[in-house]
Amino acid sequence: MLNIDIILNNPFKAMGYDNEDLIPEGGFGAVLARAGVGKTAFLVQLALRALLRNKNVLHVSLDDPVNKVGLWYKEVFNNLVKQYNIKQSNQLWEAMLPHRFIMTFKAEGFSVPTLEERMTDLSEQDIFSPQIVVIDGFLFDESAQKWLSDLKAIARKLSLHVWFAMRTHRHEEPASDGMPVPFSNVSDLFDTVIQLQPKGKEIHVLSLKGGTSTSDSSALCLDPSTMLIKKQ
């Protein structure tokens, strides 16, 4: 038996998230950051922590091919087991793989009915039934409201936890609710919103929505050398 309890110690408790999933069943979560700051690495860590708890994770990429997404997982996993000095890393990796499925789309051909159809095909053939869905590369534009509302209905029906990454821009002023303007119009659909904010040589992990009012919203950051979540 591999002792992975140290990895699974929930770092988000300091931000007021008692549940490792951070979002409820049927809920949406978003990770917001500028290009190159670490959105994909952060989402992959959330996925890996779920995989270590034997949760089924569907990773949907609208930007990268399957092999590139797979390399993200392998790199972050290697950094994780090195940080915690896990000796039987190959055994752990092989045990996790059946719980992960990578699906790629061309952004222009991606739609909720297409995603639902492909998930249904996998489930009906007993190939894969996700519990957590990670969507990387989704464009939050004027059509996002309808798209997200339709996906929300599916997430609730299937009790999915759904995570998105959203690219923000350096000089963009936030809306009145503190959210980036393109995201503000759909933020009511989200239970948890996390922002990755560079400050000097550090990347702070900030909770814009979710957690508790008594939490320390600046308690976590990303290690710039490994992109792993750590306490400040």
CA gap 155, 202 in Å, rounded: 34
Domain-located, residue 142: yes
**Residue of 230 and 156 predicted with greater confidence:** 156
Is it the case that residue 192 has pLDDT exceeding 70?
yes
**Residue of 105 and 180 predicted with greater confidence:** 105
Contact 45, 10 (CB under 8 A): no
Note the pTM of the prediction, 2 decimals: 0.91
CA gap 113, 62 in Å, rounded: 15
Amino acid at site 219: A
Is it the case that residue 122 has pLDDT exceeding 50?
yes
Domain-located, residue 188: yes
- The predicted structure's pLDDT at residue 216: 56
Is it the case that residue 20 has pLDDT exceeding 50?
yes
- The predicted structure's pLDDT at residue 200: 83
Domain-located, residue 8: no
Count structural domains, the chain. Answer: 1
- The secondary element (H helix, E strand) that includes residue 91 is helix 89-96
Q: For residue 57, how far is the Cα from the chain centroid?
A: 10
Domain-located, residue 14: no
CATH number reported for the structural domain that contains residue 166 in this entry: 3.40.50.300
CA gap 133, 114 in Å, rounded: 15
- Provide the mean pLDDT of the chain: 87
- The predicted structure's pLDDT at residue 65: 94
Domain-located, residue 19: no
Domain-located, residue 140: yes
Domain-located, residue 10: no
Structural domain that includes position 168: 25-231
Domain-located, residue 6: no
Least confident of 20-34, 60-74, 103-117, 205-219: 205-219
Q: What's the maximum distance between 2 C-alpha atoms anywhere in the chain?
A: 50
